[in-house]
Amino acid sequence: MAQPIKEIITEMIQPFLDNEGFELVDVEYVKEGNNRFLRVYVDKEGGIDIDDCGRISEVLSEKLDEKDPIPDAYFLEVSSPGAERPLKKLSDYERAVEKNVFVTTYEPIDGAKEFEGKLLSFDGDTLVIQTPRKKASVPYAKVASARLAIVF
């Protein structure tokens, strides 16, 4: 079976990112309308800027040209994950403790599938979220998606 594009791109760019102090947040390869997009989300302590994105894009473009792992035409986008950054890895959840999060689950927990509030704790198995109404314990295994949430 062919290796998924996300894995291929991760293997290509991870050594450069590690060496330069960047964190690979996510890789997406999606079709929107008639176009395909390869999106690479990168961050670093203190955030990234347009120059960082440009540098990473150049390095990745060279590697993609060398190996040509994607047969279709596509647009390459390198960017910050933004203020409402997705939580993908265990370390993302650990860093999000004491921050506001928005979490959706695969199935209802105490009658709800969406939880927004302050992430009080995460032990690797359970997220404890203080919502406006109550404290919710959400099993990590039931999390469908999660991101940081901006409170206005």
Determine phi and psi for 110, rounding to 5 degrees: 50, 40
Per-residue pLDDT, 138: 96
d(CA 56, CA 50): 10
User: Rounded mean pLDDT of 4-28?
Assistant: 93
Domain 5-79 falls under CATH 3.40.640.10: no
- The three state secondary structure string of 77-146 is EEECCCCCCECCCHHHHHHHCCCEEEEEEEEEECCEEEEEEEEEEECCCEEEEECCCCEEEEEHHHEEEE
| Dihedral of alpha carbons 130, 131, 134, 137, sign | negative
**Domain ranges within the chain, ordered by starting residue:** 5-79, 90-148
d(CA 143, CA 151): 21
Reported residue count of the chain is: 152
Per-residue pLDDT, 126: 95
Per-residue pLDDT, 76: 94
Per-residue pLDDT, 2: 61
**Contact of 130 with 118, CB cutoff 8 Å:** yes
User: Rounded mean pLDDT of 53-65?
Assistant: 94
Per-residue pLDDT, 77: 95
d(CA 56, CA 63): 11
Task: Tally Cβ neighbours within 10 Å of residue 80.
Answer: 17
User: Rounded mean pLDDT of 6-24?
Assistant: 93
d(CA 67, CA 39): 18
Per-residue pLDDT, 88: 87
User: Rounded mean pLDDT of 55-67?
Assistant: 94
Q: Supply the mean pLDDT for the chain.
A: 92
Condensed to tens digits (0 to 9), the pLDDT of residues 94-121 reads: 999 999 999 999 999 989 999 999 999 9
Q: What is the pTM of this model?
A: 0.76
Architecture of domain 90-148: Roll (2.30)
